[in-house]
Amino acid sequence: MIRNDRDTIVAGIEHLCDGIGPFQKMDSLEDYFKMQTDVYDTFGDDSFDILIDILLHPPELGRFDPNDFEYELQEAITAVGRRKPRYALDKINDLLGIKSIRLVLINIIGGLENEDGLFLLESLLQPSVESDLLSEDELIGLACALREIRGEKAVELLSKMKVRYYNHSSALLQYIEDGLKILQ
């Protein structure tokens, strides 16, 4: 069954959040990833816009942990976005100015593992009032996303981050260093 309406997509994501935790009903991490993939495969190719709408306007979650739901939603957006990465990146580009979802979008860009995403991440690093307001978590997410995407441009951007944010937390600097080690 292809799920292309909001209610059935929300139900699929909630299924992944069901119980105290999704790992409780799994024998292994591989079983959980297979269950994730099976659910995402039921989402039609044109469900990306619905998933983004769910991100922008989350449902009432009742008994579900909002963090678990956001994680599963992020994973679903990434999985569906990989089917049409150019379309996904164009949509994400239009939303990067929304501070409340920026970290999730950064994580999705990294998860797409598409070099075209580097330009979106680079735009967040351009000197401007808004980019100077990136949170520590967003900067760490950026470093991780660059590491996931890889390539010479990712190394260049991590190197720029290392210089620009040298006086930030040791955690951020460690993520930057780890990314540079992996990519070089």
Q: Give the pLDDT confidence of 65-105 residue by residue, as tens digits.
A: 899 999 999 999 999 999 999 999 999 999 999 999 999 99
pTM above 0.75, yes or no: yes
Confidence of residue 32 (pLDDT cuts 50, 70, 90): confident
Q: Which residues contact 10 (CB under 8 A, 6 or more apart)?
A: 54, 59
Contacts 24+ apart (CB under 8 A), 102-106: 102/134, 102/138, 103/135, 103/137, 103/138, 103/141, 104/55, 104/70, 104/73, 104/74, 104/77, 106/138, 106/141, 106/142, 106/145
Compute the distance between CA of residue 43 and CA of residue 130 in angstroms, rounded to an integer: 35
Residue 150, token pair as written in the block = 């890889």
Q: pLDDT tens for residues 42-54?
A: 898 789 999 999 9
Most distant CA pair in the chain, distance = 52
Cα–Cα distances in angstroms (integers) from residue 20 to residues 37, 58, 132, in the given order: 20, 20, 38
Residues 147, 90, 48: CA angle, nearest 5 degrees: 90
Choice between 1 and 157, residue whose per-residue pLDDT is larger = 157
Confidence of residue 131 (pLDDT cuts 50, 70, 90): very low
Residue 43's beta-bridge partner residues?
3
pLDDT greater than 50 at residue 22:
no
